[in-house]
């Protein structure tokens, strides 16, 4: 009879330890699962907001390019603050797993490059006002603006395609 009592005592001493271990393990596992679900939800939200904002920004760039006068030179006319903000703060990296990431990077890089071309043409016009230079600059600007419209249109279709995937 004494053996049974000892066995019951040993079992009753280990049961709380096992319960404590299991409840701690399950609590930690549940917390990690909830955090992963929250992070995934937040990441999806950031992706959706970024792509919507990029689409609006590219539409605005097209409107600007269409509204520029062929007889005027501008300094950095294509404003893309959402892109610059997303790249500066790192939120752009939420899109790095998307199939359109590198193509979007190319589109916005080309718009930055177009701003540099516009600025350089402005510098040339201010520094040199002869007629031949003026005609060359305006031809370059016309081609540059046409390319911006094509790239921005391509970027919008990429975003729409990425949204449908």
More confident residue, 26 or 47: 47
pLDDT at position 1: 47
- Mean of per-residue pLDDT scores for the chain: 84
Find which of 46-50, 87-91, 103-107 is predicted with most confidence, using mean pLDDT. 103-107
More confident residue, 50 or 33: 50
Rounded to whole angstroms, how far apart are CA atoms 90 and 93? Answer: 6
pLDDT at position 142: 94
Summarize pLDDT for 108-150 with one digit per residue, the tens: 999 999 999 999 988 888 877 677 888 888 999 999 999 999 9
Rounded to whole angstroms, how far apart are CA atoms 139 and 117? Answer: 12
Closest among 143, 92, 138, 94 to 114, alpha carbons compared: 143
Whether 151 and 111 have beta carbons less than 8 Å apart is answered as yes
Given a cut of 50, is residue 157 above it in pLDDT?
yes
Closest among 138, 88, 137 to 108, alpha carbons compared: 88
User: For residue 145, what are its two tokens?
Assistant: 């603006």
User: For residue 35, what are its two tokens?
Assistant: 């955090």
Task: Please give the model's pTM, rounded to 2 decimal places.
Answer: 0.75
Q: What is the CA radius of gyration of the chain?
A: 30
């Amino acid at each position: 009879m004494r053996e049974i009592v000892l066995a019951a005592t040993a079992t009753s001493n280990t049961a709380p330890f096992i319960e404590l271990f299991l409840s701690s393990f399950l609590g930690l596992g549940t917390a990690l699962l909830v955090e992963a679900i929250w992070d995934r939800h937040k990441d999806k939200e950031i992706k959706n907001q970024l792509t919507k904002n990029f689409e609006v920004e590219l539409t605005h760039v097209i409107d600007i390019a269409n509204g520029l006068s062929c007889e005027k030179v501008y300094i950095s006319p294509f404003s893309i603050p959402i892109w610059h903000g997303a790249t500066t703060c790192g939120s752009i990296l939420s899109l790095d797993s998307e199939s359109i990431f590198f193509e979007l990077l190319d589109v916005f890089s080309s718009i930055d490059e177009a701003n540099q071309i516009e600025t350089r043409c402005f510098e040339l016009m201010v520094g040199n006002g002869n007629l031949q230079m003026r005609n060359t600059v305006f031809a370059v600007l016309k081609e540059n603006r046409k390319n911006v419209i094509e790239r921005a249109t391509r970027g919008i279709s990429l975003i729409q395609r990425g949204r449908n995937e």
